[in-house]
């Protein structure tokens, strides 16, 4: 499976792929969806669906942002190879020609959405809400999922590049989720759990001195550190019923090619190894990094003011094996692909002190991850 052509063929046959710096995982021969329709139902039934399966079988796919929406977890064989995705996947290829682009909402409309979220914060309804927007690209020909995956992996080597079929893998016109996520929701290995939430961001600069000035400004930003703290506190609280020795140090800087982030490396030990990775996903998702704080109030505001169907954007994407081990990332720096249409998503955390125009700029910078991969290959 390490050969580029084999990976490309597997993706075309509906395989789910996760590729990082250390290894590439390809789920081949996907079987029907894990029983249950909604994301929450699939999470709850994943471990039972794996019970008695061969050691090489995993459940893999995407959990939607709204756990009541349809999930896309499948069973199949896992093939793991060391190192990142072998490139190029499909030989030389030309970038797709974009015939039309449409922001939804417009930048001005998104700034108004941010103002609506701020009004709810100032009214005391909540402390933080994450609001998203999209950029829709219509190409002259169908987008190539293998080519997008290869470009995302090559441009973002420290991220988890992913391609997940959201519909029947046999449907050549079905939807896919593609992206390069820098955010680890959780990794479970035996009793050990690792998480690395991101919250608080600033666009990078191509000029080195300005880039470092922005990184230093992010570390010193009271607004961004408060936004980040909401996430860390909520994650630690969600882990408490399942874990001991939870360690959440001070945040550090993490860089992607387009954006600086505040990140905290959280470690913990499970109280009971019967607690699986999907048990933890169900308890954690959605974190305030993609929803807000308090969770219920933030989700209400998102439904009322955002006006988008996020689908699996800002959901949880990953896998679990027959032992309950697994790795899940947050579906950010992602797009939904269907035929000639590419919907790029980006969101920003809104707290007291957020500036609507700055949040427009932040979401635009986050969109560059997929946009550059799509049009600059």
195: buried, middle or exposed (CB in 10 Å: 19+, 13-18, 0-12)?
A: buried
Q: Which of 21, 22, 41, 128 is catalytic?
A: 128
Q: What are phi and psi of 259, to 5 degrees?
A: -145, 145
* Neighbouring C-alpha atoms within 13 Å toward the C-beta of 84: 20
Annotated catalytic residue 183: yes
* Cβ atoms < 10 Å from Cβ of 48: 10
Angle CA 299–301–303, to nearest 5: 70
Annotated catalytic residue 366: no
- The terminus-to-terminus CA distance of the chain in angstroms comes to 24
Q: Is residue 146 a contact partner of residue 90, using CB atoms and an 8 Å limit?
A: yes
Q: Whose CA is closest to 224, among 255, 252, 184, 183? A: 252
Partners of 38 in beta bridges:
70
The kind and range of the H/E element at 111 are helix 107-122
Q: Which of 183, 306, 327, 362 is catalytic?
A: 183
Q: Whose CA is closest to 150, among 178, 182, 183? A: 178
**DSSP sequence for 150-211:** HHHHHH-TTSEEEEEE-S-TT-TT--EEEEEE--EEEEEETTEEEEE-EEEEEE--SSHHHH
CA distances from 73 to 49, 113, 141, 234, 253 (A): 11, 32, 28, 26, 32
Angle CA 299–302–307, to nearest 5: 145
Q: In what order do the strands lie in the sheet with 198-203?
A: 198-203, 259-263, 252-255
Q: Which residues are catalytic?
A: 128, 183
């Amino acid at each position: 499976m390490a050969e580029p052509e084999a990976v490309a063929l597997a993706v075309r046959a509906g395989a789910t792929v996760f590729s990082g710096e250390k290894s590439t995982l390809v789920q081949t021969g996907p079987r029907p969806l894990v029983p249950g329709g909604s994301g929450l139902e699939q999470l709850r039934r994943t471990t039972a669906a794996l019970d008695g399966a061969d050691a090489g079988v995993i459940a893999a796919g995407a959990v939607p942002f709204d756990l009541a929406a349809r999930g896309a977890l499948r069973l199949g064989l896992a093939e793991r190879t060391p190192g990142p995705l072998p490139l190029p996947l499909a030989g030389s290829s030309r970038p797709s020609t974009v015939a039309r682009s449409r922001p939804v909402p417009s930048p001005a409309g998104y700034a108004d959405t941010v103002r609506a979220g701020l009004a709810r914060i100032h009214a005391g309804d909540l402390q933080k809400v994450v609001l998203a927007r999209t950029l829709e690209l219509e190409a002259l020909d169908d987008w190539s999922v293998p080519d997008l995956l290869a470009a995302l992996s090559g441009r973002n080597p420290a991220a988890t590049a992913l391609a997940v079929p959201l519909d029947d893998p046999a449907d050549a016109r079905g939807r896919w989720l593609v992206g390069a996520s820098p955010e680890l929701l959780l990794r479970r290995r035996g009793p050990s759990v690792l998480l690395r939430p991101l919250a608080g961001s600033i666009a990078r600069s191509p000029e080195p001195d300005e880039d470092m000035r922005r990184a230093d400004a992010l570390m010193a930003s009271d607004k961004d550190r408060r936004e980040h703290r909401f996430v860390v506190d909520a994650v630690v609280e969600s882990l408490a019923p399942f874990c001991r020795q939870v360690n959440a140090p001070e945040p550090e800087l993490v860089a992607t090619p387009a954006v600086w982030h505040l990140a905290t490396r959280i470690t913990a030990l499970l109280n009971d190894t019967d607690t699986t990775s999907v048990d933890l996903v169900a308890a954690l998702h959605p974190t305030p990094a993609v929803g807000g704080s308090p969770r219920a109030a933030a989700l209400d505001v998102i439904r009322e003011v955002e006006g988008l169907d996020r689908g699996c954007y800002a959901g949880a994407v990953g896998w679990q094996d027959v032992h309950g081990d697994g790795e899940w990332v947050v579906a950010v720096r992602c797009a939904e692909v269907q035929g000639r249409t590419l919907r790029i998503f980006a969101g920003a955390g809104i707290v007291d002190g957020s500036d609507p125009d700055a949040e427009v700029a932040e979401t635009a910078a986050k969109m560059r991850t997929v946009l550059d991969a799509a049009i600059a290959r």
